[in-house]
Amino acid sequence: MTGPRINAERLLGRLRTLGNIGRDEGRLTRLAASDSDRAGRDAVVGWMHDAGLEVMVDRIGNLFGIWHAGDANSAPLMLGSHIDTVIDAGIYDGCYGVVGGLEVVQTLREAGVKPDRPVVIAAFTNEEGVRYAPDMMGSLVYAGGLGVAEALATVGTDGTVLGEELARIGYAGPHEPGFLRPHAYLELHIEQGPILDREGVAIGAVENLQGISWQRVTIDGVANHAGTTPMAMRRDAGQAAARVVTFLRDLISQTNAPTVATVGCMAFEPNAINVIPSRAVFTVDLRDPDEDRLRAAEATLARYLESLADAEGVTVVVERLAQFDPVTFDPAIVAAIEAAAAENGLRSRRMTSGAGHDAQMIARLCPAAMIFVPSLKGISHNPREHTQAADLQAGANVLLDVIRKLTHVASGEARSFSQQNSKLGFAYDDSFTKEGI
Protein backbone atom coordinates (compact mmCIF):
# COMPACT_ATOMS: atom_id res chain seq x y z
CA MET A 1 0.00 0.00 0.00
CA THR A 2 1.28 3.46 -0.85
CA GLY A 3 1.19 6.19 1.76
CA PRO A 4 3.03 7.25 4.90
CA ARG A 5 5.56 4.89 6.48
CA ILE A 6 6.55 4.82 10.13
CA ASN A 7 9.76 6.42 11.41
CA ALA A 8 11.80 3.29 12.19
CA GLU A 9 14.56 5.20 13.97
CA ARG A 10 12.06 6.81 16.34
CA LEU A 11 10.27 3.50 16.99
CA LEU A 12 13.46 1.59 17.75
CA GLY A 13 14.89 4.43 19.81
CA ARG A 14 11.84 4.54 22.05
CA LEU A 15 11.89 0.77 22.50
CA ARG A 16 15.54 0.98 23.58
CA THR A 17 14.82 3.88 25.94
CA LEU A 18 11.93 2.05 27.58
CA GLY A 19 14.06 -1.10 27.72
CA ASN A 20 16.63 0.73 29.87
CA ILE A 21 14.05 1.92 32.42
CA GLY A 22 13.94 -0.44 35.38
CA ARG A 23 17.34 -2.05 35.01
CA ASP A 24 19.04 -3.26 38.18
CA GLU A 25 22.54 -4.67 37.70
CA GLY A 26 21.66 -5.22 34.06
CA ARG A 27 18.34 -7.00 34.65
CA LEU A 28 15.18 -5.37 33.36
CA THR A 29 12.36 -5.57 35.91
CA ARG A 30 9.48 -3.11 35.70
CA LEU A 31 6.70 -4.52 37.87
CA ALA A 32 3.25 -2.95 37.95
CA ALA A 33 2.88 0.19 40.10
CA SER A 34 6.57 0.17 41.08
CA ASP A 35 8.96 3.11 40.89
CA SER A 36 10.33 1.76 37.61
CA ASP A 37 6.79 1.45 36.27
CA ARG A 38 6.25 5.11 37.13
CA ALA A 39 9.42 6.03 35.23
CA GLY A 40 8.28 4.01 32.22
CA ARG A 41 4.83 5.59 32.32
CA ASP A 42 6.38 9.05 32.55
CA ALA A 43 8.38 8.36 29.39
CA VAL A 44 5.29 7.15 27.52
CA VAL A 45 3.28 10.16 28.69
CA GLY A 46 6.03 12.44 27.39
CA TRP A 47 5.94 10.73 23.98
CA MET A 48 2.15 10.99 23.90
CA HIS A 49 2.40 14.73 24.49
CA ASP A 50 5.08 14.96 21.79
CA ALA A 51 2.61 13.32 19.39
CA GLY A 52 -0.07 15.89 20.26
CA LEU A 53 -2.26 13.47 22.20
CA GLU A 54 -4.40 14.19 25.25
CA VAL A 55 -3.41 11.96 28.18
CA MET A 56 -5.99 10.41 30.49
CA VAL A 57 -5.74 7.80 33.27
CA ASP A 58 -8.51 5.72 34.81
CA ARG A 59 -8.85 4.51 38.41
CA ILE A 60 -7.01 1.22 37.80
CA GLY A 61 -4.09 3.15 36.29
CA ASN A 62 -4.73 2.36 32.63
CA LEU A 63 -3.02 5.06 30.58
CA PHE A 64 -4.55 6.52 27.41
CA GLY A 65 -3.25 8.90 24.75
CA ILE A 66 -6.16 10.29 22.70
CA TRP A 67 -6.02 11.68 19.18
CA HIS A 68 -9.17 13.78 18.84
CA ALA A 69 -9.64 13.08 15.16
CA GLY A 70 -12.73 12.80 13.00
CA ASP A 71 -16.18 12.78 14.56
CA ALA A 72 -15.79 13.38 18.30
CA ASN A 73 -19.10 11.58 18.89
CA SER A 74 -17.84 8.36 17.28
CA ALA A 75 -16.43 5.52 19.32
CA PRO A 76 -12.62 5.51 19.07
CA LEU A 77 -10.36 2.95 17.48
CA MET A 78 -8.08 1.69 20.28
CA LEU A 79 -4.51 0.40 19.93
CA GLY A 80 -2.29 -0.75 22.74
CA SER A 81 -0.75 -3.28 25.07
CA HIS A 82 1.25 -2.86 28.31
CA ILE A 83 4.65 -1.72 29.59
CA ASP A 84 5.00 -3.70 32.84
CA THR A 85 7.40 -6.65 32.65
CA VAL A 86 8.26 -9.94 34.26
CA ILE A 87 11.42 -10.24 36.36
CA ASP A 88 14.59 -10.21 34.21
CA ALA A 89 12.62 -9.41 31.06
CA GLY A 90 13.23 -8.65 27.41
CA ILE A 91 12.42 -5.25 25.95
CA TYR A 92 9.68 -6.02 23.40
CA ASP A 93 6.87 -7.91 25.15
CA GLY A 94 3.97 -5.46 25.50
CA CYS A 95 6.11 -2.39 24.96
CA TYR A 96 6.13 -2.95 21.19
CA GLY A 97 2.35 -2.66 21.10
CA VAL A 98 2.29 0.62 23.01
CA VAL A 99 5.29 2.24 21.32
CA GLY A 100 4.32 0.84 17.90
CA GLY A 101 0.77 2.13 18.22
CA LEU A 102 2.06 5.53 19.29
CA GLU A 103 4.47 5.61 16.35
CA VAL A 104 1.67 4.84 13.90
CA VAL A 105 -0.52 7.64 15.26
CA GLN A 106 2.34 10.13 15.24
CA THR A 107 3.22 9.15 11.66
CA LEU A 108 -0.38 9.62 10.50
CA ARG A 109 -0.66 12.99 12.23
CA GLU A 110 2.58 14.21 10.70
CA ALA A 111 1.37 13.07 7.25
CA GLY A 112 -1.86 15.02 7.61
CA VAL A 113 -4.04 11.90 7.49
CA LYS A 114 -7.51 12.58 8.91
CA PRO A 115 -9.28 9.46 10.20
CA ASP A 116 -13.05 9.52 10.57
CA ARG A 117 -13.01 8.76 14.29
CA PRO A 118 -10.77 9.30 17.35
CA VAL A 119 -7.81 6.98 17.87
CA VAL A 120 -6.60 5.99 21.34
CA ILE A 121 -3.30 4.46 22.48
CA ALA A 122 -3.73 2.35 25.64
CA ALA A 123 -1.12 1.10 28.10
CA PHE A 124 -2.93 -1.28 30.43
CA THR A 125 -1.94 -1.83 34.05
CA ASN A 126 -0.47 -5.09 35.38
CA GLU A 127 -0.73 -7.28 32.30
CA GLU A 128 2.00 -9.62 33.51
CA GLY A 129 0.49 -10.30 36.94
CA VAL A 130 3.89 -10.76 38.59
CA ARG A 131 3.38 -8.41 41.53
CA TYR A 132 -0.44 -8.48 41.65
CA ALA A 133 -2.79 -11.27 40.52
CA PRO A 134 -4.50 -11.91 38.21
CA ASP A 135 -2.57 -11.03 35.09
CA MET A 136 -4.20 -8.84 32.42
CA MET A 137 -5.78 -7.02 35.36
CA GLY A 138 -6.05 -3.51 33.91
CA SER A 139 -7.77 -4.66 30.73
CA LEU A 140 -9.93 -7.14 32.68
CA VAL A 141 -11.20 -4.34 34.91
CA TYR A 142 -11.66 -2.09 31.88
CA ALA A 143 -13.84 -4.72 30.22
CA GLY A 144 -15.95 -5.17 33.34
CA GLY A 145 -14.66 -8.63 34.25
CA LEU A 146 -13.34 -7.54 37.68
CA GLY A 147 -14.62 -4.78 39.95
CA VAL A 148 -12.35 -1.77 40.28
CA ALA A 149 -12.62 -1.70 44.08
CA GLU A 150 -11.68 -5.37 44.32
CA ALA A 151 -8.75 -4.88 41.97
CA LEU A 152 -7.45 -1.82 43.83
CA ALA A 153 -7.57 -3.79 47.11
CA THR A 154 -5.32 -6.55 45.70
CA VAL A 155 -2.36 -7.34 47.94
CA GLY A 156 0.87 -7.95 46.08
CA THR A 157 3.58 -10.52 46.59
CA ASP A 158 5.51 -7.88 48.54
CA GLY A 159 2.56 -7.03 50.84
CA THR A 160 1.72 -3.75 49.10
CA VAL A 161 -1.81 -2.79 48.05
CA LEU A 162 -2.28 -1.96 44.38
CA GLY A 163 -4.51 1.08 44.89
CA GLU A 164 -2.09 2.60 47.38
CA GLU A 165 0.85 2.01 45.07
CA LEU A 166 -0.91 3.56 42.07
CA ALA A 167 -1.63 6.64 44.18
CA ARG A 168 1.97 6.73 45.42
CA ILE A 169 3.42 6.75 41.90
CA GLY A 170 0.85 9.29 40.69
CA TYR A 171 -1.15 7.05 38.35
CA ALA A 172 -4.45 6.60 40.19
CA GLY A 173 -6.65 8.43 37.70
CA PRO A 174 -10.16 9.86 38.18
CA HIS A 175 -11.94 8.13 35.30
CA GLU A 176 -14.00 4.97 35.64
CA PRO A 177 -12.54 2.01 33.72
CA GLY A 178 -14.46 1.58 30.50
CA PHE A 179 -15.13 5.32 30.12
CA LEU A 180 -14.13 5.01 26.44
CA ARG A 181 -15.96 2.16 24.71
CA PRO A 182 -13.88 1.25 21.65
CA HIS A 183 -15.19 0.83 18.12
CA ALA A 184 -12.46 -1.80 17.65
CA TYR A 185 -9.16 -2.81 19.22
CA LEU A 186 -5.83 -3.80 17.64
CA GLU A 187 -2.74 -5.03 19.46
CA LEU A 188 0.72 -5.29 17.90
CA HIS A 189 2.95 -7.85 19.62
CA ILE A 190 5.94 -10.12 19.23
CA GLU A 191 4.82 -13.71 18.83
CA GLN A 192 6.30 -15.15 22.08
CA GLY A 193 6.57 -18.44 20.25
CA PRO A 194 8.74 -19.99 17.51
CA ILE A 195 6.30 -20.46 14.62
CA LEU A 196 6.86 -17.27 12.58
CA ASP A 197 10.63 -17.40 13.07
CA ARG A 198 10.83 -21.10 12.19
CA GLU A 199 8.66 -20.74 9.08
CA GLY A 200 10.20 -17.49 7.88
CA VAL A 201 6.83 -15.69 7.93
CA ALA A 202 6.83 -11.94 8.60
CA ILE A 203 3.30 -11.35 9.93
CA GLY A 204 0.95 -13.39 12.09
CA ALA A 205 -2.75 -12.56 11.73
CA VAL A 206 -3.97 -13.82 15.10
CA GLU A 207 -7.45 -15.29 14.77
CA ASN A 208 -7.92 -16.69 18.28
CA LEU A 209 -6.47 -16.89 21.78
CA GLN A 210 -6.19 -19.91 24.04
CA GLY A 211 -8.31 -20.27 27.14
CA ILE A 212 -6.32 -20.22 30.38
CA SER A 213 -6.90 -22.02 33.67
CA TRP A 214 -4.65 -21.28 36.66
CA GLN A 215 -4.91 -23.29 39.87
CA ARG A 216 -2.88 -23.55 43.09
CA VAL A 217 -2.70 -27.03 44.59
CA THR A 218 -1.77 -27.63 48.24
CA ILE A 219 -0.93 -31.18 49.33
CA ASP A 220 -0.54 -31.91 53.05
CA GLY A 221 1.19 -35.03 54.31
CA VAL A 222 3.33 -35.78 57.37
CA ALA A 223 6.93 -34.72 57.96
CA ASN A 224 9.24 -37.47 59.15
CA HIS A 225 12.85 -38.60 59.16
CA ALA A 226 14.18 -39.25 55.65
CA GLY A 227 16.41 -42.12 56.80
CA THR A 228 14.26 -44.02 59.24
CA THR A 229 10.81 -43.97 57.64
CA PRO A 230 10.17 -46.86 55.21
CA MET A 231 8.90 -45.81 51.80
CA ALA A 232 5.64 -47.76 52.19
CA MET A 233 4.85 -45.96 55.47
CA ARG A 234 5.31 -42.40 54.24
CA ARG A 235 2.70 -39.72 53.65
CA ASP A 236 5.02 -37.76 51.43
CA ALA A 237 3.57 -34.51 50.05
CA GLY A 238 6.58 -34.05 47.79
CA GLN A 239 6.19 -37.47 46.20
CA ALA A 240 2.49 -36.80 45.62
CA ALA A 241 3.27 -33.47 43.97
CA ALA A 242 5.81 -35.10 41.67
CA ARG A 243 3.17 -37.61 40.59
CA VAL A 244 0.90 -34.75 39.53
CA VAL A 245 3.65 -33.28 37.33
CA THR A 246 4.23 -36.58 35.52
CA PHE A 247 0.49 -37.25 35.28
CA LEU A 248 -0.06 -33.96 33.46
CA ARG A 249 2.80 -34.62 31.06
CA ASP A 250 1.49 -38.09 30.26
CA LEU A 251 -2.10 -36.87 29.93
CA ILE A 252 -1.23 -34.22 27.34
CA SER A 253 1.23 -36.46 25.47
CA GLN A 254 -1.47 -39.07 24.84
CA THR A 255 -3.54 -36.74 22.63
CA ASN A 256 -3.01 -34.81 19.42
CA ALA A 257 -4.85 -31.79 20.85
CA PRO A 258 -3.00 -28.47 21.31
CA THR A 259 -3.62 -28.54 25.08
CA VAL A 260 -0.60 -27.57 27.18
CA ALA A 261 0.03 -28.00 30.91
CA THR A 262 2.71 -26.41 33.07
CA VAL A 263 3.67 -26.67 36.74
CA GLY A 264 5.56 -23.41 37.04
CA CYS A 265 5.89 -22.94 40.81
CA MET A 266 6.52 -25.49 43.54
CA ALA A 267 7.55 -25.20 47.19
CA PHE A 268 8.05 -27.83 49.88
CA GLU A 269 7.82 -27.56 53.66
CA PRO A 270 9.90 -27.82 55.75
CA ASN A 271 12.24 -27.77 52.73
CA ALA A 272 15.06 -29.71 54.38
CA ILE A 273 17.21 -32.32 52.66
CA ASN A 274 16.69 -34.95 55.38
CA VAL A 275 12.98 -34.42 56.12
CA ILE A 276 10.05 -35.90 54.22
CA PRO A 277 7.96 -32.94 52.99
CA SER A 278 4.84 -32.31 55.03
CA ARG A 279 3.45 -29.86 52.48
CA ALA A 280 3.81 -29.18 48.78
CA VAL A 281 2.30 -26.12 47.14
CA PHE A 282 2.41 -25.78 43.36
CA THR A 283 0.62 -24.16 40.45
CA VAL A 284 -1.00 -25.71 37.40
CA ASP A 285 -1.38 -23.71 34.17
CA LEU A 286 -3.69 -25.36 31.61
CA ARG A 287 -4.31 -23.82 28.16
CA ASP A 288 -6.32 -24.77 25.10
CA PRO A 289 -8.02 -22.80 22.30
CA ASP A 290 -11.12 -25.01 22.67
CA GLU A 291 -13.25 -24.39 25.76
CA ASP A 292 -14.67 -27.93 25.95
CA ARG A 293 -11.20 -29.50 25.85
CA LEU A 294 -9.95 -27.08 28.50
CA ARG A 295 -12.84 -27.94 30.83
CA ALA A 296 -12.27 -31.65 30.18
CA ALA A 297 -8.60 -31.32 31.15
CA GLU A 298 -9.60 -29.52 34.36
CA ALA A 299 -12.07 -32.28 35.20
CA THR A 300 -9.54 -35.03 34.52
CA LEU A 301 -7.02 -33.33 36.78
CA ALA A 302 -9.64 -32.97 39.54
CA ARG A 303 -10.45 -36.68 39.40
CA TYR A 304 -6.76 -37.57 39.52
CA LEU A 305 -6.13 -35.38 42.57
CA GLU A 306 -9.02 -37.06 44.37
CA SER A 307 -7.62 -40.53 43.68
CA LEU A 308 -4.10 -39.36 44.58
CA ALA A 309 -5.24 -38.25 48.02
CA ASP A 310 -6.52 -41.75 48.76
CA ALA A 311 -3.50 -43.53 47.28
CA GLU A 312 -0.86 -41.43 49.08
CA GLY A 313 -2.69 -40.78 52.36
CA VAL A 314 -2.53 -37.01 51.89
CA THR A 315 -5.05 -34.19 51.73
CA VAL A 316 -5.40 -32.05 48.63
CA VAL A 317 -6.88 -28.55 48.39
CA VAL A 318 -7.27 -26.73 45.07
CA GLU A 319 -7.66 -22.96 44.73
CA ARG A 320 -8.60 -21.36 41.42
CA LEU A 321 -6.37 -18.37 40.65
CA ALA A 322 -7.69 -17.34 37.23
CA GLN A 323 -9.86 -18.63 34.41
CA PHE A 324 -10.20 -16.99 31.00
CA ASP A 325 -12.26 -18.44 28.19
CA PRO A 326 -10.84 -18.84 24.68
CA VAL A 327 -11.37 -15.83 22.40
CA THR A 328 -12.12 -15.75 18.68
CA PHE A 329 -11.04 -12.48 17.08
CA ASP A 330 -13.04 -10.50 14.55
CA PRO A 331 -12.72 -12.19 11.12
CA ALA A 332 -13.01 -8.91 9.19
CA ILE A 333 -10.08 -7.36 11.05
CA VAL A 334 -8.03 -10.55 10.69
CA ALA A 335 -8.66 -10.44 6.94
CA ALA A 336 -7.64 -6.76 6.88
CA ILE A 337 -4.33 -7.69 8.53
CA GLU A 338 -3.68 -10.37 5.91
CA ALA A 339 -4.52 -7.93 3.11
CA ALA A 340 -2.23 -5.22 4.53
CA ALA A 341 0.63 -7.72 4.82
CA ALA A 342 0.17 -8.76 1.20
CA GLU A 343 0.08 -5.14 0.04
CA ASN A 344 3.41 -4.63 1.82
CA GLY A 345 4.90 -7.66 0.06
CA LEU A 346 5.02 -9.69 3.28
CA ARG A 347 4.13 -13.33 3.90
CA SER A 348 1.50 -13.85 6.57
CA ARG A 349 -0.31 -16.72 8.21
CA ARG A 350 -3.28 -17.09 10.52
CA MET A 351 -2.42 -18.36 13.97
CA THR A 352 -3.49 -18.97 17.55
CA SER A 353 -1.86 -17.12 20.43
CA GLY A 354 -0.70 -19.42 23.19
CA ALA A 355 -0.13 -16.48 25.56
CA GLY A 356 -2.73 -14.26 27.18
CA HIS A 357 -2.94 -10.62 26.07
CA ASP A 358 -4.94 -7.50 26.83
CA ALA A 359 -6.76 -8.08 23.54
CA GLN A 360 -8.30 -11.13 25.19
CA MET A 361 -10.14 -8.83 27.60
CA ILE A 362 -10.96 -5.91 25.32
CA ALA A 363 -12.54 -8.37 22.86
CA ARG A 364 -15.41 -8.49 25.36
CA LEU A 365 -16.19 -4.88 24.46
CA CYS A 366 -15.64 -4.68 20.72
CA PRO A 367 -14.25 -6.44 17.64
CA ALA A 368 -10.54 -7.07 18.16
CA ALA A 369 -7.51 -8.74 16.63
CA MET A 370 -3.74 -8.95 16.99
CA ILE A 371 -0.72 -8.63 14.71
CA PHE A 372 2.32 -10.79 15.51
CA VAL A 373 5.89 -10.37 14.32
CA PRO A 374 8.62 -13.02 14.71
CA SER A 375 10.52 -13.48 17.95
CA LEU A 376 13.95 -15.03 17.42
CA LYS A 377 13.74 -18.74 18.36
CA GLY A 378 10.43 -17.96 20.08
CA ILE A 379 12.20 -16.63 23.17
CA SER A 380 10.21 -14.30 25.43
CA HIS A 381 10.01 -13.38 29.13
CA ASN A 382 13.78 -13.56 28.94
CA PRO A 383 16.57 -10.99 28.39
CA ARG A 384 17.49 -12.88 25.19
CA GLU A 385 14.12 -11.93 23.69
CA HIS A 386 14.86 -10.40 20.30
CA THR A 387 13.04 -9.31 17.15
CA GLN A 388 14.88 -8.01 14.10
CA ALA A 389 14.56 -4.29 13.42
CA ALA A 390 13.16 -4.99 9.95
CA ASP A 391 10.40 -7.14 11.46
CA LEU A 392 9.53 -4.49 14.04
CA GLN A 393 9.29 -1.91 11.27
CA ALA A 394 7.22 -4.19 9.04
CA GLY A 395 4.71 -4.99 11.79
CA ALA A 396 4.22 -1.31 12.61
CA ASN A 397 3.64 -0.47 8.93
CA VAL A 398 1.06 -3.25 8.64
CA LEU A 399 -0.68 -1.84 11.72
CA LEU A 400 -0.61 1.62 10.13
CA ASP A 401 -2.25 0.34 6.95
CA VAL A 402 -4.92 -1.57 8.85
CA ILE A 403 -5.74 1.57 10.84
CA ARG A 404 -6.10 3.54 7.62
CA LYS A 405 -8.57 0.96 6.37
CA LEU A 406 -10.61 0.91 9.57
CA THR A 407 -10.83 4.68 10.00
CA HIS A 408 -11.48 5.94 6.48
CA VAL A 409 -15.20 6.37 5.69
CA ALA A 410 -14.68 6.08 1.96
CA SER A 411 -12.85 2.77 2.03
CA GLY A 412 -14.57 -0.47 1.10
CA GLU A 413 -12.75 -2.18 3.96
CA ALA A 414 -14.28 0.17 6.50
CA ARG A 415 -17.81 -0.43 5.18
CA SER A 416 -17.24 -4.20 5.24
CA PHE A 417 -16.01 -3.96 8.83
CA SER A 418 -19.11 -2.01 9.91
CA GLN A 419 -21.37 -4.59 8.26
CA GLN A 420 -19.48 -7.36 10.04
CA ASN A 421 -20.02 -5.64 13.40
CA SER A 422 -23.75 -5.47 12.73
CA LYS A 423 -23.92 -9.15 11.87
CA LEU A 424 -22.09 -10.10 15.05
CA GLY A 425 -24.40 -8.03 17.20
CA PHE A 426 -21.82 -5.71 18.76
CA ALA A 427 -23.23 -2.67 20.56
CA TYR A 428 -21.31 0.56 20.91
CA ASP A 429 -21.44 3.48 23.29
CA ASP A 430 -20.44 6.36 21.02
CA SER A 431 -20.10 8.90 23.81
CA PHE A 432 -16.57 10.27 23.92
CA THR A 433 -15.18 11.91 27.04
CA LYS A 434 -12.72 14.77 26.56
CA GLU A 435 -11.96 15.50 30.19
CA GLY A 436 -8.29 15.46 31.06
CA ILE A 437 -6.36 14.98 34.23
Whether 381 has a binding-site annotation, put simply, is yes
Whether 103 has a binding-site annotation, put simply, is no
Torsion angle defined by CA atoms of residues 337, 341, 342 and 346, in that order, rounded to the nearest 10 degrees: -150
Q: Say if CB 76 and CB 118 are below 8 A apart.
A: yes
One-letter identity of residue 70 = G
Q: How far apart, in whole angstroms, are the C-alpha atoms of residue 67 and residue 347?
A: 31
Torsion angle defined by CA atoms of residues 2, 393, 353 and 333, in that order, rounded to the nearest 10 degrees: -20
Q: Do β-strands 184-190 and 77-82 pair in parallel, antiparallel, or remain unpaired?
A: parallel
Q: Say if CB 79 and CB 97 are below 8 A apart.
A: yes
Tell me how crowded residue 89 is: count the other CB atoms within 10 A of its CB. 25
Nearest to 386 by CA among 394, 395, 376, 372: 376
Q: Do β-strands 368-373 and 184-190 pair in parallel, antiparallel, or remain unpaired?
A: parallel
DSSP 327: E
Beta pairing partners, 77: 119, 184
Beta pairing partners, 80: 122
Q: How far apart, in whole angstroms, are the C-alpha atoms of residue 31 and residue 27?
A: 12
Judge if the upstream peptide bond of residue 270 is cis by omega within 30 degrees of 0: yes
Beta pairing partners, 24: 27
Q: How far apart, in whole angstroms, are the C-alpha atoms of residue 7 and residue 16?
A: 15
> If residue 297 lies in a helix (H) or strand (E), which one and from where to where?
helix 291-312
Tell me how crowded residue 139 is: count the other CB atoms within 10 A of its CB. 33
Q: Alpha carbon 7 to chain centroid distance?
A: 26
DSSP 268: E
Whether 128 has a binding-site annotation, put simply, is yes
DSSP 377: G
Whether 189 has a binding-site annotation, put simply, is yes
Whether 288 has a binding-site annotation, put simply, is no
Q: Say if CB 29 and CB 88 are below 8 A apart.
A: yes
Q: How far apart, in whole angstroms, are the C-alpha atoms of residue 84 and residue 169?
A: 14
Q: How far apart, in whole angstroms, are the C-alpha atoms of residue 66 and residue 105?
A: 10
Q: Where are the beta strands (DSSP E) in 289-420?
A: 315-324, 327-328, 348-353, 368-373
Residues annotated in a binding site: 82, 93, 128, 189, 381
Residues annotated in a binding site for Zn(2+): 82, 93, 128, 189, 381
